[in-house]
Structure 1
Amino acid sequence: MKVRRIIDAHHHLWDLGADHRYPWLMKQSVVRFFGDPKPIQRDYGVPEFREDIGTLPVVASVHIQVGVESGDELAETLWLQDQQRRHGLPSAIVAFCDLTAPDFEARLDRHRVAESLRGVRQIVGRSADEDRATGSDALLENPAFEAGLKRLAELGLSFDLQLIPAQMERAAGLLAKVPNVRVALCHGGSLSDFSPQGRAIWKHGIRLLAALPNVICKVSGFGMFDKAWSAASVREQFHTMLDAFGPERIAFGSNFPVEKLATPYVQVWRRYLRMTAGLSGFEQQRLFHDTAVEFYKLPDTAEP
């Protein structure tokens, strides 16, 4: 393996017996935008995560909030910090905190007691159907959301942006107003419409977001939208992101255990290696390690 160090820049953990609850993991017979969650509606902790990693040189990881019951967000953050103390992972925590809440700053201050906190994710878009049900699309026009992003920047915290291609142009317009907040585009913008028109909308959005120097792109989650994906099938998609953002602003993530519905952990990273086989060692190091270290302010890691 040419890559000596990997940082998994996007994964999840959960404990269904913990004090905080996960409504979507407890609902039965509800198919989500990424498929039927039934196989992962069970505990997924650091020991199993390490088993999935196997002998891959994963030296650090970034946990992204899972979607706990409203009011349980702080409990999730504190549980994750305890997992880090007990097991050494995750290395960084991206929590949920409602940027539009009247007491947003007080809520955020409580999250900041966790020394591994690096940022916030508040999902703007998952799929058109789910977004209509949640109303999350309205965040892009909410002045409180913009103010919350500015506050994150002031505190040195980042924002993980999950949306769908139809929202990218509006999101780019909003983010242009908050140039100091560091933003990670989750799942490469969640391309799910592979028609020529769907790809065109996504490519246009990628170019707009890449034009903002404070935005990086996380490549992850291919299996949510194509269970049969391969290094070859996503080649054009990956190179569109690479050409737009450059290796210095791209990080890889596993999206485990959601991706486990489609692809084993080791296979995900082998496909990433195939996708980047023609790149230089320096470029690969950026994609697999350095971009995530810089963005999430992780301590640099000695080679294993």
Structure 2
Amino acid sequence: MTRDATHQAWLDQVIEPVIDPSRAIVDPHHHLWRVPGSPRWGTYDLDDLFADTGSGHRIEQTVFIDCTSDYRTDGPEEMRPLGETEYVAAMAEESARRPDATTRIGGIVGHADLLLGARVADVLAAHLEVGKGYFRGIRHAASWDPSEEIHNGHHNPPREMLLSEQFRAGFAELAPMGLTFEAWLYHPQIPELTDLARAFPDTGIILNHVGGHVGIGPYAGKRDELLAGWRRDMAELATCTNVSVKLGGLAMPINGYDWHKRERPASSDEVVAAHRDIYLHCIDLFGPDRCMFESNFPVDRLSVSYAVLWNAFKKIAAGFSEDEQERLFRGTAMRVYDLDEID
């Protein structure tokens, strides 16, 4: 086990009974780092994932999302992200055979540089080959902001990348291979994603973290004002039926809630109070068929424990019907990522 004992002790200050422990869940967004991905997050490997998914909620499957881990260190630059897919595919197979596994990795979303244009087709084909049947799509982070106080995306995107002809030439290669696009951006960029989604209505797009709310730097202290613009932009995006939304990823430092700086981590009631209206607005716009709760672990683990976070999601969803809750917690992710049922 590689988790930081001091941070774990901090999280353990807030222990809650697990709500509705029998509810089947697919967690469609987590990462793995075999080597430290950041001084803040440290190593997060399969044992760490099992420790979190085994904290009381019934996490049947997960989907790994790219995080620039285990890239190849030699060979053509565009092929180096294949190392991540190779590593996670091996972890997915291990999660299926280990008797102590608390979940199974059912899908993989890796990275390919769509700015390669049509040449990216060879990279995508290679991902499918080494992915051992788990590969579902790619993420090319578009998160960019002019402020020097905002860290731009881990793929170092240029400004207005989603609108560029070169990027779209690469994007056009996804649908023919049955692959989805994972959209990680910041909230001012949502209109760019809407433009992309309308240009490629046959490509499945998954918006990460409800559109990337930024609450630090020039955006600090302006939450109500920014939410008004976010609601407007999300309403336009919702008209694109090829777009689904992940409900989560709002406990990161960039979101500006500063829970990671406190003496005690967030409780589920605090998460509900801060995020309920945001998630319910997404569900109202996109419907349960196009929304799915996500953990974004271990990044959101900086602020809240896994068990507490899923308690918050269950409290937020309590007013929906059983069928709607099944889609929010499992069904939408199963369909969007074309996951196999577990025997």
1:149 Cα deviation (Å)? Answer: 2.0
- The SS at the match of 1:244 is helix
Counterparts in 2 of 1:6 and 1:169: CA distance versus 1, 3 Å? same
Please point out which of 149, 153, 177 is paired with 1:155: 177
Q: Deviations over 1:102-144 (max 9, x none)?
A: 5311111111111100000000116553339934333122112
1:38 Cα deviation (Å)? Answer: 2.7
Counterparts in 2 of 1:127 and 1:60: CA distance versus 1, 3 Å? farther
2:156 pairs with 1:131: no
- Kept in 2, the 8 Å contact 1:242–1:250? The answer is yes
Counterparts in 2 of 1:147 and 1:220: CA distance versus 1, 3 Å? same
* RMSD between aligned residues: 2.0
- Kept in 2, the 8 Å contact 1:5–1:58? The answer is yes
1:72 Cα deviation (Å)? Answer: 3.0
Q: Which runs of 5+ in 1 are unaligned?
A: 17-21, 26-36
**What corresponds to 2:64 in structure 1?**
63
**What corresponds to 1:13 in structure 2?**
32
The equivalences for 1:18-97 within 5 A come to 25=37, 37-41=38-42, 43-54=43-54, 55-68=56-69, 72-88=80-96, 89-97=104-112
- Kept in 1, the 8 Å contact 2:144–2:157? The answer is no
2:239 pairs with 1:211: yes
Aligned AA for 1:130? Answer: H
The percent of aligned pairs where both chains have the same amino acid is 28
The equivalences for 1:1-304 within 5 A come to 1=20, 4-16=23-35, 25=37, 37-41=38-42, 43-54=43-54, 55-68=56-69, 72-88=80-96, 89-101=104-116, 103-113=119-129, 114=131, 115-125=133-143, 128=146, 129-131=150-152, 134-193=156-215, 194-224=222-252, 225=255, 226=257, 227=259, 228=266, 230-301=271-342
- Kept in 1, the 8 Å contact 2:141–2:153? The answer is no
TM-score (norm. length: structure 1): 0.87
1:2 Cα deviation (Å)? Answer: 6.9
Where relative contact order (Cα < 8 A, 6+ residues apart) is larger, the structure is 1
- The SS at the match of 1:179 is coil
- Kept in 2, the 8 Å contact 1:123–1:136? The answer is no
- Kept in 2, the 8 Å contact 1:10–1:220? The answer is no
Counterparts in 2 of 1:195 and 1:56: CA distance versus 1, 3 Å? closer
Q: Deviations over 1:201-222 (max 9, x none)?
A: 2111211111100000001111
- The SS at the match of 2:237 is helix
Counterparts in 2 of 1:248 and 1:81: CA distance versus 1, 3 Å? same
What is the rounded CA distance, in whole Å, between the counterparts of 1:132 and 1:94 in structure 2?
16
Computing the radius of gyration from Cα coordinates, the structure with the larger value is: 2
What is the rounded CA distance, in whole Å, between the counterparts of 2:283 and 2:196 in structure 1?
23
Aligned AA for 1:85? Answer: E
Aligned length: 283
Q: Which runs of 5+ in 2 are unaligned?
A: 1-19, 72-76, 97-103, 216-221, 260-265
TM-score (norm. length: structure 2): 0.78
What is the rounded CA distance, in whole Å, between the counterparts of 1:136 and 1:201 in structure 2?
23
What is the rounded CA distance, in whole Å, between the counterparts of 1:132 and 1:283 in structure 2?
33
**What corresponds to 2:15 in structure 1?**
none
What is the rounded CA distance, in whole Å, between the counterparts of 1:49 and 1:277 in structure 2?
26
- Kept in 2, the 8 Å contact 1:250–1:291? The answer is yes
